[in-house]
Structure 1
């Protein structure tokens, strides 16, 4: 007699997993796999990496999902290899070759054009992207052979570091604002050099203050005893580490968690010198309460609050 299938009960898991996404996996597939390995109730990622790309993919679980938007807005750092002299339909190795040109580019030529691509620049989003037009991703139009007009978007390349050149491969490190397409950057550099280009490899090494060196692979997670996996998660406030901290008494913490704005000018609470976003903790046990806006006059306005054992 066959035993009935017993549905696995998911458990509350809270924190941030720094995943080193493998090549060929979509961000969503990697999230689903990690969620299953952690047996977590709730999970979300913080912006996608193309299947072609590898590297840092922060995954949020439980209460950390409330702050995933902060990483969507954060600066990103990549290391990439640009294949000069060859263009493809997708701007990377997944597309079909469009054109091959004789390559006569020198290192001096490259160093001369790279400054054009630092600071504020405009990029036209690629057709092979997840941006939507009339509710449909652009890549679906592209696969149907349809090319649509796209408006250029303003992005910022904070730094563009030359790592080496062994023709036809140019290696770069890029620190950029949200919304930057490294594929387009590679193609534009190739265009400026007069030879065309596509990305041969792309690896994300940083998202905001989070770094790849502290990440773990899916294989490493799978190989660990299930009871130890949740211990790999960084705490929820790892997503808020760039914001100054405010400590509240139990009484003030309770009021904040009820959604009240707090007038702290006359309270014995140490406040940052500047207004803006802050992370808020309960002074008595150090537990994170969430994020808030510190306004002029010492007003603390709740923003995103998390559930704690006290609530």
Structure 2
């Protein structure tokens, strides 16, 4: 007789929480903390953010984890401050100085050098990065003292702006870039081009895919929402060392964003109740209406007030590839 599978621990919630990650916290730790707060069955995140960086870390729950690749492939916007005069081993404040210069660039020099960093550019990722070399993370190899050589790669920088020059030592930039772009490498290479060297002293991610700063929520806000839903303990229980549990997740769930919010760049197919039932069973459906496309490589279907499936459109029919909440 086949043994029944273990019931998953936690709540089967679906959606995104767009965390404003504080400095000093790793992405894995942030995901683990939110999983505990929400008592969620399944979690994931879209794009690692270094502990020294702050800002947007989209965290997915349940069905939203199936849309993570669409967010990771989206554009990202970073604001970062570069200090001139020194290049470090990590291209930020965590490393030691590798080379230095007394030269400081003018605004005109900076703006001229920036022109080479927009479009498709060749970039060597930082030695201390999550790039894998023979199955090992580059930063693990570097920390063990190994000489790490990473090949140059082509990345996309859609926009690079000089936002401020607080003093002769520092410059504040904003970059909109594609997947796999390292702004630490932009700072390093700009410094080399300008002959003054440079490294990042502050880094904040403000946008990922279709998510913006308005979507972000702090850990303090989430903790306050969790406290709002905690049970009240009597004095005897507190004396015994009991911990108050969250019994009402309503305040926390107010911060959940629907899974389909990650798919804003895709065509949306709105299904009738009958069509939704067919798609949930894995069947294709014919699209009606003169505005419906005849073909589309990536699309998503909604019905019953929620995300139903990811798929494609061919010859006027929506073909589900991944179903949410149905079979498969």
User: Normalising by structure 1, what TM-score?
Assistant: 0.90
1:222 CA drift (Å): 0.6
Is 1:280 matched with 2:301? yes
Contact map agreement 2:78 2:207 (CA 8 A) in 1: yes
Partner of 1:203: 204
Partner of 1:223: 224
Count, aligned residues: 298
- What 5-or-longer segments of structure 1 have no aligned partner? 1-7
Partner of 2:193: 192
Distance 1:72 1:131, change over 3 A: same
d(CA) in 1 for partners of 2:177 and 2:44? 23
1:263 CA drift (Å): 4.0
- Aligned to 1:290, which of 289, 303, 309? 309
Is 1:157 matched with 2:157? yes
Contact map agreement 2:295 2:312 (CA 8 A) in 1: no
1:270 CA drift (Å): 5.4
Contact map agreement 2:85 2:104 (CA 8 A) in 1: no
SS where residue 95 of structure 2 aligns? coil
Query: What is the RMSD computed on CA atoms of the aligned residues?
Result: 2.0
Distance 1:63 1:269, change over 3 A: farther
- What 5-or-longer segments of structure 2 have no aligned partner? 1-7, 230-248
1:90 CA drift (Å): 0.4
- Aligned to 1:302, which of 320, 324, 327? 320
d(CA) in 2 for partners of 1:91 and 1:123? 13
1:16 CA drift (Å): 0.3
d(CA) in 1 for partners of 2:276 and 2:119? 42
Contact map agreement 1:14 1:236 (CA 8 A) in 2: yes
User: Normalising by structure 2, what TM-score?
Assistant: 0.86
Distance 1:268 1:109, change over 3 A: closer
SS where residue 232 of structure 1 aligns? coil
Deviations 1:171-202 (A, max 9, x none): 00100010001110110010110111110111
d(CA) in 1 for partners of 2:306 and 2:135? 41
